[in-house]
Chains A and B, each alone.
Chain A
């Protein structure tokens, strides 16, 4: 049993062995992978579809994938994009996305890509909480 701030939750036996940060890292690199590692198939699939869907739609809308941080807004955008893990690396390697935003939908696409990264970070942290027993 692990005591948290307001409640006590049972920790699954399989969650007590192995590298504790593996679901966090896997979840960051590949959306939903952290939950798959913990055998939360349904949750992992829904998270993967949502995050991958947002990222792919952002790319399809010719959203901008931030490559450098020349001002504070670009820095924040880059931080959000990096949350996509391997998706960001692959998109940079393949030259996906637009360099400059020229139409309104491309601006939406840029936000989709950034928010997909932020949601992926939330998802990875959730997998870590499941792994440590902080969440059921």
Chain B
């Protein structure tokens, strides 16, 4: 049984989802890569930002 950390789970999820979003939502390879990276940064960035927000609210 696999027990990844919360952050590892977020990163793996973001990589897989970003690859699919990039390929399916854009038409040229260059734009696919750019959109994939954009989605990845948004996925991980929003998870980190929300985590800090919840941490600060809980204190």
Contact = CB atoms under 8 A, between A and B. Distances in A.
Interface string A102-136: 01110011011001100100110110000000011
Which size class do A's interface residues fall under? 20 to 34
Contact of B27 (A50, A54, A136): A136
Interface string B20-55: 110110011000000000000000000000000000
A136 B12 CA distance: 28
Given A105-B9, A135-B27, A136-B27, A57 B17 contact: no
A47 interface: yes
Which size class do B's interface residues fall under? 10 to 19
Interface of A: 43, 46-47, 49-51, 53-54, 57, 60-62, 103-105, 108-109, 111-112, 115-116, 119, 122-123, 125-126, 135-136
Top 10 closest A-B pairs, CB basis?
Answer: A126-B24, A60-B2, A50-B16, A50-B19, A119-B20, A54-B16, A108-B9, A61-B2, A105-B3, A136-B27
